[in-house]
């Protein structure tokens, strides 16, 4: 049996409104536990400002572990700017080496799938969109993995959409999930929701596990700042939510991912474990 692999899944740090206590804690955990890799699933910044990217670059390059970063909707330059179209990842320049990076370890790999597009034919551009090119790039990378290596696909937006055009969370999300089911991926790691979840999503070609990490920013929703700790022993992927202690949200101080936690199905439907009354303010992640 392959040696057990330890992965940390962080998300939505939102430099500019980061929680420094949470970041100091995670940095210490990475130094002490020495994960085999760290996946950061987007929204590194609040407004894609140069100073926010500089802080992100400094923090990420100081981590003592291999890192891969997915861009989030907050990381693209603002609407209508030429740079959003011509060079959407231009502000990642100082740490382009870790952005959308595939990390292949013995038996398991982190494979990127971009869910951002420069423009969308709908009002809310914060939502996800899996382009044909992005999906094809991701599938090619999965197909190129060594035989027997299982893929964990890293995205920013959860790959889920509703049936109505106007409220789709991630356009082409279902199509992407179905393609990933056919490749037998181990799971899809996402951010954007700011609360952790671990669910199985059904597709025509079987279920796909969707794992969401919470936030390490001050923009918390139902849960304290957190990250996910994943272990892979070659047979089972175990996910534990690590919550920052001492945060006064006793109703949601969970030790593990609630089995019934769900990402939102559309605008105005925030994530919440079933049976809990969700907040009614519309999400803006």
- Where does this chain bind Fe ion (CB under 5 A)? 12, 43, 72-73, 192, 285
Nearer to Fe ion, 72 or 187 (CB): 72
Q: Name the residue among 170, 220, 168 with its Cα closest to residue 194.
A: 220
Token pair belonging to 2:
């392959």
Decide if 77 contacts 85 (C-beta within 8 A): no
Nearer to Fe ion, 12 or 195 (CB): 12
Nearer to Fe ion, 1 or 123 (CB): 123
Q: How far apart are the first and last CA of the chain?
A: 40
**CB of residue 11 to Fe ion, shortest distance in Å:** 7
Nearer to Fe ion, 108 or 244 (CB): 244
What is the CA 152 to chain-centroid distance, rounded? 11
Nearer to Fe ion, 5 or 283 (CB): 283
**CB of residue 3 to Fe ion, shortest distance in Å:** 33
**CB of residue 75 to Fe ion, shortest distance in Å:** 9
Q: Name the residue among 93, 191, 104 with its Cα closest to residue 143.
A: 104
Nearer to Fe ion, 43 or 267 (CB): 43
Q: What's the DSSP call for residue 9?
A: E
Q: Which residue is nearest to Fe ion (CB)?
A: 43
Q: How far apart are the C-alpha atoms of 132 and 222, rounded to whole Å?
A: 34
Q: How many residues does the chain have?
A: 285
**CB of residue 107 to Fe ion, shortest distance in Å:** 30
Token pair belonging to 221:
């929703």
Token pair belonging to 226:
């957190």
Decide if 193 contacts 210 (C-beta within 8 A): no
**CB of residue 73 to Fe ion, shortest distance in Å:** 4
Close Cβ partners of 263 (under 8 Å, ≥ 6 residues apart)? 158, 160, 169, 190, 193, 197, 199, 210, 212, 271
**CB of residue 284 to Fe ion, shortest distance in Å:** 9
């Amino acid at each position: 049996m392959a040696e057990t692999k330890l992965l940390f899944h962080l998300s939505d740090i939102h430099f500019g409104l980061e929680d420094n206590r949470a970041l100091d804690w995670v940095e210490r955990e990475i130094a002490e536990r020495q994960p085999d890799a760290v996946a950061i699933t987007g929204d590194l910044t609040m407004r894609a400002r140069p100073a926010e990217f500089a802080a992100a670059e400094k923090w990420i390059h100081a981590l003592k572990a291999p890192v891969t970063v997915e861009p989030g909707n907050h990381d693209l330059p603002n609407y209508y700017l030429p740079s959003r179209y011509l060079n959407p990842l231009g502000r990642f320049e100082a740490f382009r080496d870790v952005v959308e990076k595939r990390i292949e370890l013995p038996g398991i790999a982190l494979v990127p799938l971009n869910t951002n597009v420069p423009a969308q034919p709908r009002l809310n551009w914060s939502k996800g969109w899996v382009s044909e090119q992005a999906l094809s790039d991701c599938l090619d990378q999965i197909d190129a993995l060594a035989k027997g290596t299982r893929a964990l696909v890293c995205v920013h937006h959860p790959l889920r959409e509703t049936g109505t055009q106007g409220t789709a969370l991630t356009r082409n999300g279902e199509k992407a999930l179905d393609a990933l089911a056919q490749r037998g991926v181990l799971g899809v790691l996402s951010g954007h929701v700011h609360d952790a979840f671990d669910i199985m999503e059904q597709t025509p070609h079987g279920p796909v596990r969707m794992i969401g990490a919470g936030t390490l920013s001050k923009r918390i929703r139902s849960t304290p700042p957190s990250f996910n700790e994943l272990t892979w022993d070659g047979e089972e992927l175990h996910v534990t939510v690590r919550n920052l202690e001492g945060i006064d949200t006793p109703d949601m101080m969970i030790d593990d991912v609630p089995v019934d936690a769900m990402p939102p199905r559309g605008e105005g439907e925030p994530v919440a474990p079933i049976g809990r009354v969700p907040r009614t303010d519309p999400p803006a992640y």
